Amino acid sequence: MGLPRPGSLWRRAAAVLGVLMVAAGAAAILRSEPTGDVDPFGALVGTLGAVIGVAGLVVPVWELRRGRRDGAVQALVRAVDRHEDQQYRIVLGPGTTFLPVRFRFSAAPAGVLDDAPAEEWQSLADHYLGLPGPERRLAVTGGPGAGKSLLARELTRALASRHDGQTAAGAPLLLSLSAWDGPPDKKEDPRGEEFHRAFRRWVVQQVSRTYGQPAPLVEEVLTDKAVLVLDGLDELDPGGQDGRPRATALLRYLAVNRDCFRNVVVTCRSDVYEEFEGPAPLARASRAELLPVPADMALDYLRSRSEWLHGGLTERWDGVLEEMRLSPGGPLARALSTPWRLTMTANAFHVRGEDGTGWLRDPSELVDRWGREALRDRYRADAEEFAADHGLLRPLWNLLPPEELLRDAEGSHVAEDMSAEAEEYLLSLFVPSVVAEHPGQRDRYPAERVTAWLTLLATHRALDVPPEPGNLPLIAAVPADLTPHQLWPLGGRRLVRTLHGSLYTLFALLLGGLSVAFLAPLDAVVLLPVFIVVGFSVRRAWSDESDFDWTSRLRPRGSRGGMFDLYMRYVGLPMLGALYGGLFGLIVAANAVGATPQDLPPAVWAAAAVGALLGIPLFRIWSYETRTGVQGSLAGQRYTLFLVCAALRGRLPLRLGRFLDWSYEGGLLRVDGHSYRFRHQEFEQYLWRTRWRPAVLSACLGAAEAALREGEAVAAGRSSGTGRMAEQVDALGRWGAGLYAVCPERVGILRADARTALRAWADHLSAGSEDAEAGDAARGRAERAVHRFREAAEDLG
């Protein structure tokens, strides 16, 4: 569903309701005064004078804002440069200027990437600015973790730093496409004006939130010269939906819509980009293909990230460098072939020991566990095990030269398994290393609790599907969006919703009881707006949707919001709530004690004051959302209840916003607009897998071992049929998709082998064959398969 525009139907409806409430309040005040005490004409003149006074304040402010628009481009460019430089330094570390990224550039859509030389990351901005105008387009492609987002951020920084107001390139704006939910109508024609308006409106909102600039000024900047850097075309369709409809629609919009943005940079995974039609899916675009990190560049980067460089000590990484050069296709070289994994490695092995004098870890352990010698040993063991299972001759390793044996091992599944193990190990060290070397307060949170909190946050998905085995791959494909107002289910969906709805229901019952007991019919009519607001609030408070109150949220135009937004938040709506709350308390208390307006006792005025205080939060129908929290209205109240429930249950810290900001400063999270996202998809997926892995592995192992026990019982004559064994084998099969989603591929293959062996043994037993030798062979294969599956599962912890 598309977000409402500023000044749309929702804002107009709120304005109309506000006018009606003010009118009703004025009528109530006039009615409460004795006849003749208030001059209607004087009241009208005073009201008009107040309106004119407010207009006299608004007009100069409007003129001031119009004058500011002349410098809107430069102001936005400075904000972009400042914001992207901060995020860039958080990712790479303070004082770091070296980016381990190389690419091949093709200047024309029909160009051949293989013929282009490899270039360093610094030259990408020159290539982009050198493209012939008036339309400059570039597609940055590469594998997972190759540095696409990092290079897009660096390109944005470079374009912002070179912007002087006279250059042909406009303001560069980096936007994450994962935040775009498409046009209001999913079937909207990309060639039409509605699609363009929806996309432009989203761009304005994202730029305003991300860079802290008012939306009207952003509108002025979004001319044909603006450069949109759209990060994550492959993330538009979670799970790789058939045909990738949203990504295809966006590419078609950029190709055929006459109103579309002209200067565009898009990042996308290479395999996904090549799925789209044509040699250049992004119309009229050049292409920069990112390359794996070579060994010498990897070592230079690791040196640049280590403090020991200042002392001239470089031999600490010599073993890793030699391993990567001698075995470029080995597990270790694969694990360190992307900038993201190099960053994890630099963090993991840059942690001091407890006494602060030595290093906590030595890079040589990487060589010992995943080097070429370890690869050869595991490859030989795997081949011998395979030969034994299938009755083959044992391989004669002495006849193979070491170089040929290493090449065979590098091309086997063993190398892939070891590379996956190395990646898992580095990911497991990422949070502890960031906590130990946090640039701010290192001792604020222990590493174990940080890991637990981030793991829980990684499970949050904007999906309404049950976490069943078959749904786990779908859930895993959707990235976590840590938008504050949508996190409340993590505190316990039923608990938070019940508390919120119950509080509002009790309040409504109390209000209704007081009204029935003490209000006259005419007084109730005057206070009708109070009952409308309470009824609407009760209905919304029982909602079970994650984004349960999107109509009330006010996303500020910029970091501070527009003037109208600030006025409504801090003055208008609280005053309206105080007026009606105080009026309700005054009327109820006066009727309860039987006092007349001319002689009200202090208790009545006290009731009016209490009503005014209670009315302030009730009438703040708009909440105010930032990336660290939600304040006001229903969304803010539910967010507060969620924090209390999650903290009492030990799930999350009470000051969640401060923790998220601390994680962002340490490089665990990144910021997209007014929400957080995880630093990298691999890191998020690792946390998500560790959350689900114990339950899935336990279910699979339980089914496999139960099937094995049932088979032994049938073979021993203690059971008369294989029905229960077949049920357990079927259960093991149902968990297959879920196991592949949370475990390395090798574990999934071993599960499939165990299921196949158990199924074959069950078929043999159900057939009633008297061939004892065949039965023993089937039983042995099943036992060995289950044993290997159990060992692999135990290795994962």
At 132-166, the pLDDT tens digits run 877 888 999 998 888 898 889 889 988 988 887 55
* Same domain membership, residue 526 and residue 384: no
**Boundary (domain end) residue, out of 655, 675, 695:** 675
CATH of the domain at 755: 1.20.120
With respect to residue 591, please indicate whether it lies within any of the assigned structural domains: yes
Based on the structure, what is the number of domains in the chain? Answer: 4
Residue 188: which domain range?
72-291
The pTM assigned to this predicted structure is 0.79
Give me the pLDDT at residue 683, please.
Answer: 92
pLDDT band with cut points at 50, 70 and 90 for residue 3: very low
DSSP 570: I
* Same domain membership, residue 493 and residue 624: yes
* Same domain membership, residue 687 and residue 666: no
Share of the chain above pLDDT 70, in %: 71
Give me the pLDDT at residue 5, please.
Answer: 42
Q: Is 112 a residue whose pLDDT tops 60?
A: no
* Same domain membership, residue 388 and residue 527: no
**Short-list 121, 101, 175, 157, CA closest to 343:** 101
With respect to residue 57, please indicate whether it lies within any of the assigned structural domains: no
With respect to residue 257, please indicate whether it lies within any of the assigned structural domains: yes
Model confidence pLDDT, tens digit, residues 278-306? 767 888 888 899 988 887 788 778 777 76
**Boundary (domain end) residue, out of 675, 705, 732:** 675
With respect to residue 529, please indicate whether it lies within any of the assigned structural domains: yes
**Short-list 642, 717, 252, 381, CA closest to 486:** 642
**Short-list 421, 402, 408, 407, CA closest to 335:** 421
* Same domain membership, residue 183 and residue 244: yes
* Same domain membership, residue 701 and residue 580: no
Residues in the chain: 797
With respect to residue 498, please indicate whether it lies within any of the assigned structural domains: yes
* Same domain membership, residue 655 and residue 549: yes
**Short-list 125, 128, 129, 146, CA closest to 138:** 128
Mean pLDDT of 763-780: 83
Contact 692, 474 (CB under 8 A): no
Contact 753, 713 (CB under 8 A): no
* Same domain membership, residue 665 and residue 788: no
* Same domain membership, residue 432 and residue 535: no
* Same domain membership, residue 145 and residue 118: yes
* Same domain membership, residue 550 and residue 629: yes
* Same domain membership, residue 746 and residue 712: yes
Q: Is 731 a residue whose pLDDT tops 80?
A: yes
Q: Is 68 a residue whose pLDDT tops 60?
A: no
**Boundary (domain end) residue, out of 640, 675, 710:** 675
State how far the Cα of 541 lies from the Cα of 496, in Å rounded to an integer. 10
Who's near 370: CB < 8 A, 6+ residues apart?
Answer: 330, 331, 332, 335, 418, 419, 421, 422
**Short-list 603, 609, 604, 619, CA closest to 582:** 609
State how far the Cα of 539 lies from the Cα of 774, in Å rounded to an integer. 67
With respect to residue 403, please indicate whether it lies within any of the assigned structural domains: yes
With respect to residue 716, please indicate whether it lies within any of the assigned structural domains: yes
Sign of CA dihedral 389, 390, 394, 397: negative
Q: Is 41 a residue whose pLDDT tops 50?
A: no
User: What distance, in Å, lies between the first and last C-alpha atoms of the chain?
Assistant: 42
Mean pLDDT of 565-587: 54
With respect to residue 654, please indicate whether it lies within any of the assigned structural domains: yes
- Which of 44-53, 349-358, 693-702, 717-726 shows the lowest per-residue confidence on average (mean pLDDT)? 44-53
